[in-house]
Amino acid sequence: MIALTLINNNAVDFTVEICGIKVQLQPRSSDTRMVTVPSEKYMPIQMSSRQWSTSWLVSTGTNLAHEHEFDYPVSNMVNIYQHMEADSAGMLAAMTLNFGPAFSSQDWMGLLDLSTDPKLGDLTIPGTHNTGTWDATRDSKCQSLNIRQQLEYGIRFFDLRLAVSGDDLRIWHGSERQNVYLARDLLPVIKDFLAKHPTEFVILCVANVSWSINYNQFNSLLGKLLGQGVATNKLYDGAAMPKVAGMGGVVALMRQDKEATFGIMAHDWPDDAKGLVWNPSGQFWYSVQNVYKFGSDYLTAKWGIIKAQLDCAAKKSDGPAWYANFTSASRAPITDPIDIALATDQKGMNYELHAYLCKQVGPQYFGTLPMDFPETPSGLIKLLISMNKLKPV
């Protein structure tokens, strides 16, 4: 027998039939039962509501040596996220099936419930850390997806480290320059995407790494390129945290450079630390976790810090703030970013995050999460998005 937990993260109730039991799941609820799982590799599951009915086969974890994460885009009504845990003998000990709403990753912001008049910092937003590094060498590579693919997957927060390069701004990661430019490669794709998906908006978090360039040159060039590359009246470069309503099609600018004269200021975010930071120009707090240097226990230590910030955001332990939680880390020269995110024993940060979220009953607030390689495991980005308060599909 195993502990089977069923979670309904939809706004409607439905019935689930699995392992010989039938469970009526109320909206935003969970139910745990002890059940006997069949010996076959897959087992059938039946789901039905007043409006629809569908069935699927879910894994039973044959030869389960460690935890496993799966995602099943079952129908246009429901998406199943599965987490399985093994005992010391490698046998299945517990299973969670999280039934989330089905939606398009390209248009998810159009489903946000705005009845509470949220601001940007009130959303759970999937992001990428060192966004423009898809062509980098292994020790600097933090992403596999290019900017268009990230947008299509549902990423809406982009971490850009930029330096002046002629009449453009070039992506860097540490001492390695990338063949990716703001005006040439990023803004045209973002502008095109937002034109085709007018309910969506993006946050560009810009850091100036032009060490030898006069700052005024960077500031002026950034303003010029954004003015040319963003659709008319679709750039938000004010200091206050804007409300979500009315942000469709907008590029919101966040600045991590101290000399910035426009944009949402974030230049005091902690480096290799966690901290609560006041934004005087925007008149709001940030609660930021950005710890990235570790010793030999890097996987366990980093996940503990990420989880603590997730719990902090959900409970609003730091009060009303914009919570940010970097899941990225490195341990150079021994460990590269991909080894932190996607450790081969499936205890990497992305697998840990999927397992954590799979067990949550939403809606819950977890803040902005800049991640490395967030497309793995499949469904992680959608699982994060589903934690928002979404309107019924």
Question: Which one, of 318, 225, 220, lies nearest residue 260 by Cα?
Answer: 220
**Mean pLDDT, residues 24-52 taken together:** 93
Confidence tier at 71 by pLDDT (50, 70, 90): very high
298-315 helix and 349-358 helix, angle to the nearest 10 degrees: 40
CA angle 179, 328, 66 (to 5 degrees): 120
* Residue 73: predicted pLDDT: 87
User: How much of the chain, in percent, has pLDDT values that exceed 70?
Assistant: 98
Contact 186, 151 (CB under 8 A): no
Q: 384 or 67: whose pLDDT is higher?
A: 384
Q: What is the pLDDT of residue 62?
A: 67
For the chain, state the CA radius of gyration.
Answer: 21
Amino acid identity for residue 56 in this structure: W
* Amino acid 96: pLDDT: 97
**What are the tens digits of pLDDT across the range 74-92?**
888 899 999 999 888 888 9
Question: Residue 263 carries which side chain, given as an amino acid letter?
Answer: G
pLDDT in tens, 185-219: 999 999 999 999 999 999 999 999 987 677 889 99
Predicted pLDDT at 275: 97
Phi and psi angles of residue 303, each rounded to the nearest 5 degrees, phi first: -65, -40
| Order of all β-strands in the sheet with 78-86 | 29-35, 2-8, 92-101, 78-86, 68-72
Half-sphere CA count of 32, side-chain side, radius 13 A: 7
Two tokens at 298?
């890097």
d(CA 177, CA 161): 10
Q: How far is CA 133 from CA 142, 163, 177, 191, 217, in A?
A: 6, 14, 9, 20, 24
Say which DSSP state 119 is in.
B
pLDDT at 295: 84
Q: Fill in the DSSP letter of residue 389.
A: -
State residue 215's pLDDT score: 81
| pTM of the predicted structure, to 2 decimals | 0.96
| Spatial distance between the Cα atoms of 62 and 39, rounded to a whole number of angstroms | 8
User: For residues 248 and 157, what is the distance between their CA atoms, to the nearest angstrom?
Assistant: 14
CA dist 32 and 96 (Å) reads: 9
Domain 108-385, CATH homologous superfamily name and number: Phosphatidylinositol (PI) phosphodiesterase (3.20.20.190)
pLDDT for res 314: 97
Q: What is the C-alpha separation between 213 and 157, in angstroms, rounded?
A: 26
Per-residue pLDDT band for 33 (boundaries 50, 70, 90) equals very high
Question: Cα separation of 143 and 243, whole Å?
Answer: 29
User: Closest Cα partner for 206 from 155, 313, 284, 131?
Assistant: 131
The half-sphere exposure of 307 on its side-chain side, counting CA atoms within 13 A, is 17
Mean pLDDT of 314-323: 97
Q: Which of 40-49, 61-70, 309-318 has the highest mean pLDDT?
A: 309-318
Per-residue pLDDT tens digits for 344-378:
776 899 999 999 999 999 999 999 999 999 999 99
Write the pLDDT tens digit of every residue in 108-119.
999 999 999 999
User: What gap in Å lies between CA 160 and CA 132, rounded to an integer?
Assistant: 7
User: Domain coordinates of the chain in residue numbers?
Assistant: 2-101, 108-385
Average pLDDT, the chain: 94
The pLDDT score that the predictor gives to residue 118 is 97
User: The sheet that has 14-18: what strands, in order across it?
Assistant: 21-25, 14-18, 42-48, 53-59
What does the pLDDT average to over 290-296?
90
Average pLDDT over residues 3-24: 95
Question: What does the DSSP assignment read for 273-329?
Answer: EEEEEEETTTTEEEEEEE--B--TTHHHHHHHHHHHHHHHHHHTTT-SEEEEE----
Give the C-alpha separation, 142 to 126, whole Å: 15
> What is the per-residue pLDDT across 373-393, written as a single tens digit (0 to 9) for each?
999 999 999 999 999 999 887
